[in-house]
């Protein structure tokens, strides 16, 4: 919509602000007008109960607990129109990966869970762990590994991080990073992207950065006052 407005402005054409406002309002009412009648409290549990466990094959799991932030470029002209305020509840990654959900995932997958936020591991300075009532996390070390010209490997000690160990992980957990992305030896790296097109329908893309062949999508719908898994298939949901 922003690109549409800018294209009109660049050619000196008049923008029908009222029309755009009414279209946004109608779309909102169509998709989220009944959101107050939907109970989202059990949705996260439904998603976790229906995880495809065959996808989790490595010893550890790096988990994005929020979606990657996209920054808006500067210098965009101010929108001259009144904007319709979308007040709909949006189920998103932060609401999926609550403290309880993360610990449930650890027990369900039987993996060490290493949370990541916007590509950065958490340290003791981060406020992330304040949401956990008990000190059930431990310190690990992230290392970098590169191939050099003679075919040998160069390893560099990296920053420390905190993670949630499965049972009593005695040894210090060392993750060997082998890519510019968060890809490590013996570790799945999973990002979830939630699409919420209307009040009673949710799509969750499970993206495995270390092995895209594992990617799959869950479809959940609100039926008879309950969230139910209605489909789970390989690949990704495309919102376009």
Cβ count near 142 (within 10 Å) = 19
Q: Is the pLDDT of residue 194 over 90?
A: yes
Range of 78-92, 122-136, 215-229 with top mean pLDDT: 215-229
- Cα–Cα distance between 172 and 163 in angstroms, integer? 11
Q: Is the pLDDT of residue 36 over 60?
A: yes
Residues forming beta bridges with residue 220, ordered by sequence position: 202, 229
Predicted confidence band at 151 (pLDDT cuts at 50, 70, 90)? low
Helix count (H) and strand count (E) of the chain? 5, 10
Average pLDDT score over residue span 121-131: 70
Range of 6-10, 58-62, 85-89, 169-173 with top mean pLDDT: 58-62
Summarised one tens digit per residue, pLDDT across range 74-118 is: 555 666 788 898 888 889 998 999 888 998 999 999 999 999 887
pTM for the model stands at 0.82
Q: Is the pLDDT of residue 174 over 70?
A: yes
pLDDT of residue 3: 45
Distances (CA, A) of 130 to 77, 94, 135: 39, 15, 9
Strands 187-198 and 138-147: unpaired
Distances (CA, A) of 136 to 133, 161, 162, 193, 227: 9, 14, 10, 27, 30
pLDDT of residue 71: 47
């Amino acid at each position: 919509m922003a690109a549409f407005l800018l294209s009109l402005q660049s050619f000196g054409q008049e923008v029908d602000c009222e029309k755009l406002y009414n279209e946004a309002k109608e779309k909102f009412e169509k998709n989220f007008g009944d959101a107050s009648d939907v109970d989202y409290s059990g949705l996260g549990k439904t998603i976790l109960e229906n995880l495809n466990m065959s996808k989790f094959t490595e010893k550890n799991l790096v988990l994005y607990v929020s979606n990657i932030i996209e920054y808006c470029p500067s210098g965009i002209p101010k929108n001259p129109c009144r904007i319709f305020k979308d007040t709909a509840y949006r189920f998103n990654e932060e609401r999926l990966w609550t403290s309880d959900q993360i610990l449930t995932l650890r027990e369900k997958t039987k993996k060490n869970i290493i949370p990541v936020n916007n590509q950065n591991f958490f340290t003791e300075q981060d406020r992330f762990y304040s949401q956990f009532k008990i000190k059930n996390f431990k310190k690990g070390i992230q290392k970098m590994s590169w191939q050099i010209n003679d075919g040998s490997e160069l390893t560099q000690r990296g920053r420390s991080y905190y993670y949630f160990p499965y049972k009593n992980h005695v040894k210090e957990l060392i993750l060997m990073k082998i890519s510019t992305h968060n890809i490590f030896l013996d570790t799945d790296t999973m990002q979830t992207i939630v699409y919420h097109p209307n009040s009673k329908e949710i799509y969750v893309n499970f993206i495995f950065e270390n092995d895209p062949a594992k990617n799959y999508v869950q479809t959940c719908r609100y039926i008879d006052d309950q969230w139910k898994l209605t489909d789970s298939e390989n690949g990704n949901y495309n919102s376009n």
